């Protein structure tokens, strides 16, 4: 298989852009993923490894307890001639471990800098004499290790890059993985050329590779998949369907927190386009709404919903155990951003919100299968397209696992959900009528738990308000508010106030992410 014949691993030293490095390498055609910096040589030896990247990180190499590359890993890479590239903290760490000197910079350097490559060959092939790069560091390398050349400087860093064409070990102080370093792609591409890894990674081999791995892992055992009808779980359904056919049991839970078209959409697509053999619809709306009664705290809503989902899956599994044989695995459409924002990737990242499929209860009976856990949404969409899933599914706007509960701010009641559902339909219809769906990442209303005074048909109203959220994004990590055409927005607001009982005012949320998140809870 082309993809994983050759891999370049990224060792995670806690840097916020670590995952972006792996993503960039994949974009450049080489399979890449992240491993903790504490990785054992044994694990590396099992991999068809062509190169190692050391990520950035918040520590200082002289700090007590600062993360270090295990000596055995360094020796192994040097002995085997495996090319290494240290970025930022990784650069300083390699310099220090190989005998160079690192010292504390006078002040932290954060932002754009001009980089002067000394040679425009090898790692810096194709660069200009001056390149804008993105820096974020306190310490800096003062002297390169013996036997290593200074490959570039900036006004503050005498050794902004060092390396050796004999050992193929390189360090760069700047971040090539971020968009603010325009030559970054070239530098990473040059490093891949140095590793000699074949540029064969693409979504098609990923599909084959993943299907083969699932087949091997699952064998004749059975898998239950929580299928929501969103892009991620649908792509997992298609992958599993390809891998294990009728051993896959898809469970669509109607939790009472869905939009009005969610259930028919799933029933339709998964009977026609992805004809999974076993689609089970479980109506658990009463149960979810009872569990959520009176709850207003967003994290508590997520916890309750996550646990209720697992309870429902476990009960369904028990029924299936008797009918078709024991269900061993639970598959989920978790993707990388779900994990970052739920802080399960590294102890350094902050918890933003517990995406329900990450916050699983302890002691769950299933083993987990999450084939998309390393990918971003746009990569998942590309896989969906490769699998031949219909565009209406692949291009579907994301919908959170906890559904309308996190858009029904405050108490979640049937009545408020119905109000929100109707407003949601109107927003979708108006966006579709304006022909702008392709420009948008998400567009939805949220019901606010505030009442304001209005006047309708000469009478006073004292009703709740709807906030419309409409954003553009590439990967949901950041998002921009959509600059609506005023007439479209006004028409949408007018329809909501006229058609949705109990709503007398509409707001448009004009906050980007960050500082806001996309969902309001
Ligand atoms: P936020 O609100 O964190 O959302 O900016 C980023 C993206 O993730 C979706 N989202 C969720 N998806 N379970 C999910 O599966 C969740 O609990 C959840 N919360 C937010 C959100 O719709 C957006 O696309």
Query: What digits encode the pLDDT tens for the residues 66-92?
Result: 999 999 999 999 999 999 999 999 999
Mean pLDDT score across all residues of the chain: 92
Catalytic residues: 88, 175, 177
Task: Judge contact between 73 and 103, C-beta under 8 A.
Answer: no
Same domain, residue pair 53 and 188 = yes
519, part of any domain: no
328, part of any domain: yes
Q: Ligand 1 pocket test: which of 354, 398, 444 has the largest number of ligand atoms within 8 Å of its C-beta?
A: 398
243, part of any domain: yes
Distance between CA atoms of residues 139 and 108, nearest Å: 8
Last residue of a domain, one of 369, 394, 419: 394
Token pair belonging to 21: 């490095």
Residue 1 pLDDT: 31
Query: How does residue 344 score in pLDDT terms, banded at 50, 70 and 90?
Result: very low
Same domain, residue pair 268 and 345 = yes
Query: How does residue 16 score in pLDDT terms, banded at 50, 70 and 90?
Result: confident
Q: From the CA of 354, give the closest atom in ligand 1.
A: 17
Same domain, residue pair 176 and 239 = no
pLDDT at 456 over 50: yes
Same domain, residue pair 294 and 354 = yes
Q: From the CA of 356, give the closest atom in ligand 1.
A: 17
Residue 352 pLDDT: 61
Taking the centre of ligand 1 as the mean of its atom positions, its distance from the CA of residue 446, in whole angstroms, is: 14
Task: Judge contact between 370 and 355, C-beta under 8 A.
Answer: no
Q: From the CA of 516, give the closest atom in ligand 1.
A: 5
Q: Ligand 1 pocket test: which of 338, 441, 471 has the largest number of ligand atoms within 8 Å of its C-beta?
A: 338
Same domain, residue pair 424 and 490 = yes
Residue 2 pLDDT: 36
Same domain, residue pair 386 and 415 = no
Taking the centre of ligand 1 as the mean of its atom positions, its distance from the CA of residue 521, in whole angstroms, is: 9
Q: Ligand 1 pocket test: which of 226, 259, 305, 519 has the largest number of ligand atoms within 8 Å of its C-beta?
A: 519
Same domain, residue pair 359 and 445 = no
Taking the centre of ligand 1 as the mean of its atom positions, its distance from the CA of residue 293, in whole angstroms, is: 22
Last residue of a domain, one of 394, 427, 454: 394
pLDDT at 210 over 90: yes
Residue 350 pLDDT: 55
Query: How does residue 348 score in pLDDT terms, banded at 50, 70 and 90?
Result: very low
Q: What is the dihedral of CA 255, 258, 260, 265, to 10 degrees?
A: -90
Task: Judge contact between 497 and 490, C-beta under 8 A.
Answer: no
- Hey, whose CA ends up nearest to atom 17 of ligand 1? 355
Task: Judge contact between 438 and 477, C-beta under 8 A.
Answer: no
- CATH code, 457: 3.30.300.10
- CATH code, 277: 3.40.50.620
Distance between CA atoms of residues 368 and 330, nearest Å: 5
∠ Cα 382 386 390 (to 5°): 85
- Hey, whose CA ends up nearest to atom 10 of ligand 1? 400
Residue 184 pLDDT: 97
Residue 3 pLDDT: 44
Q: From the CA of 441, give the closest atom in ligand 1.
A: 24
Taking the centre of ligand 1 as the mean of its atom positions, its distance from the CA of residue 160, in whole angstroms, is: 38
Number of domains the chain is built from: 3
423, part of any domain: yes
Phi, psi of 18 (to 5 degrees): -50, -50
Taking the centre of ligand 1 as the mean of its atom positions, its distance from the CA of residue 340, in whole angstroms, is: 11
CA quadruple 323, 325, 328, 331: dihedral positive or negative? negative
Residue 361 pLDDT: 66
Same domain, residue pair 384 and 434 = no
Last residue of a domain, one of 195, 224, 239: 195
- CATH code, 125: 3.40.50.880
| Least confident range of 121-130, 204-213, 239-248, 295-304 | 204-213
Q: From the CA of 402, give the closest atom in ligand 1.
A: 17
- Hey, whose CA ends up nearest to atom 9 of ligand 1? 400
State which residues form the domain around 475. Answer: 407-508
Tell me the C-alpha to C-alpha distance, in Å, between residue 315 and each of 4, 256, 263, 308, 319.
37, 18, 21, 11, 7
Q: From the CA of 377, give the closest atom in ligand 1.
A: 24
Task: Judge contact between 226 and 313, C-beta under 8 A.
Answer: yes
Phi, psi of 382 (to 5 degrees): -65, -35
Same domain, residue pair 263 and 120 = no
**Closest Cα to residue 174, out of 111, 88, 268?**
88
- Hey, whose CA ends up nearest to atom 6 of ligand 1? 476
380, part of any domain: yes
Taking the centre of ligand 1 as the mean of its atom positions, its distance from the CA of residue 461, in whole angstroms, is: 33
Same domain, residue pair 45 and 132 = yes
Taking the centre of ligand 1 as the mean of its atom positions, its distance from the CA of residue 513, in whole angstroms, is: 12
Same domain, residue pair 218 and 87 = no
Burial of 10 (0-12, 13-18, 19+ CB in 10 A): buried
310, part of any domain: yes
> 């325009």: which residue's tokens?
182
Taking the centre of ligand 1 as the mean of its atom positions, its distance from the CA of residue 401, in whole angstroms, is: 8
Token pair belonging to 425: 């339909």
- Hey, whose CA ends up nearest to atom 22 of ligand 1? 400
Radius of gyration of the chain (CA): 26
Rounded mean pLDDT of 342-363? 58
> 């918040």: which residue's tokens?
58
Tens-place pLDDT, residues 224-267? 999 999 999 999 999 999 999 999 999 999 999 999 999 999 99
| Least confident range of 141-145, 370-374, 431-435 | 370-374
Helix (H, G, I), strand (E, B) or coil at 195: helix
Query: How does residue 345 score in pLDDT terms, banded at 50, 70 and 90?
Result: very low
Beta strands in 67-148 (DSSP E): 84-87, 101-117, 131-143
Q: From the CA of 479, give the closest atom in ligand 1.
A: 5
181, part of any domain: yes
Distance between CA atoms of residues 348 and 58, nearest Å: 9
Q: Ligand 1 pocket test: which of 299, 308, 476 has the largest number of ligand atoms within 8 Å of its C-beta?
A: 476
Task: Judge contact between 389 and 273, C-beta under 8 A.
Answer: yes
Strand partners, 283: 254
pLDDT at 477 over 80: no
516, part of any domain: no
pLDDT at 185 over 60: yes
pTM, rounded to two decimals: 0.71
Rounded mean pLDDT of 3-30? 87
Same domain, residue pair 234 and 383 = yes
Q: Using a 6 Å CB cutoff, which residues line ligand 1?
A: 302, 338, 341, 352-353, 355-357, 398, 400-402, 442, 476, 513, 517-519
């Amino acid at each position: 298989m082309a993809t994983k014949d050759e891999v370049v691993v990224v060792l995670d030293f806690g840097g916020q852009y670590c995952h972006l490095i792996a993503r960039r390498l994949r974009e450049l055609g080489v399979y890449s993923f992240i491993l903790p910096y504490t990785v054992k040589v044994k694990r590396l030896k099992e991999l068809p490894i062509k190169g190692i990247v050391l990520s950035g990180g918040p520590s200082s190499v002289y700090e007590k307890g600062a993360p270090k590359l295990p000596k055995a890993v360094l020796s192994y890479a040097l002995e085997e001639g495996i090319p290494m590239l240290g970025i930022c903290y990784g650069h300083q760490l390699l310099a220090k471990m190989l005998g160079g000197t690192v010292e504390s910079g006078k002040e932290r350097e954060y932002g754009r800098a001009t980089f002067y490559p000394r040679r425009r060959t090898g790692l810096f092939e194709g660069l200009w004499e001056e390149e804008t790069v993105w820096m974020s560091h306190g310490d800096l390398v003062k002297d390169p290790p013996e036997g290593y050349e200074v490959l570039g400087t900036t006004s503050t860093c005498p050794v902004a890059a060092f390396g050796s064409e004999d050992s193929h070990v390189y360090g760069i102080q700047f971040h090539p993985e971020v968009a603010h370093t325009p030559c970054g792609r070239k530098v990473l591409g040059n490093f891949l050329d140095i590793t000699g890894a074949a540029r064969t990674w693409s979504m098609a081999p990923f599909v084959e590779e993943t299907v083969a791995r699932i087949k091997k892992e699952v064998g004749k055992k059975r898998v239950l998949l929580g299928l929501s009808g969103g892009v991620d779980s649908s792509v997992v359904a298609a992958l599993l369907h390809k891998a294990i056919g009728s051993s896959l049991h898809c469970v669509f839970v109607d939790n009472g927190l869905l939009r009005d078209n969610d259930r028919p959409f799933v029933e339709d697509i998964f009977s026609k386009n992805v004809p999974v053999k076993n689609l089970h619809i479980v109506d658990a709306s009463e149960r979810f709404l009872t569990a959520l009664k009176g709850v207003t705290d967003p994290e508590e809503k997520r916890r309750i919903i996550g646990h209720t989902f697992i309870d429902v899956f476990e009960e369904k599994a028990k029924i299936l155990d008797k009918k078709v044989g024991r269900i061993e695995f639970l598959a989920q459409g978790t993707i990388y951003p779900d994990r970052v924002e739920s802080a399960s990737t590294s102890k350094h990242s902050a918890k933003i919100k517990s995406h329900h499929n990450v916050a699983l209860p302890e002691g769950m009976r299933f083993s987990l299968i999450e084939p998309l856990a390393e990918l971003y949404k746009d990569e998942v969409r590309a896989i969906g397209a490769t699998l031949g899933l219909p565009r209406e599914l692949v291009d579907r706007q994301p919908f959170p696992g906890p559904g309308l509960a996190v858009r029904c701010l405050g108490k979640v009641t049937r009545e408020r959900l119905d109000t929100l559902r109707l407003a949601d339909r109107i927003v979708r219809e108006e966006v579709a009528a304006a022909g702008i769906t392709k420009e948008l990442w998400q567009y939805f209303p949220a019901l606010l738990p505030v009442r304001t005074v209005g006047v309708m048909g000469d009478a006073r109203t004292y009703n709740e308000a709807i906030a419309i959220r409409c954003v553009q994004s590439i990967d949901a990590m950041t998002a921009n508010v959509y600059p609506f055409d005023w007439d479209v927005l006004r028409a949408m607001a007018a329809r909501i106030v006229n058609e949705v009982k109990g709503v007398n005012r509409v707001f448009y949320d004009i906050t980007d992410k960050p500082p806001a998140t996309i969902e309001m809870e």
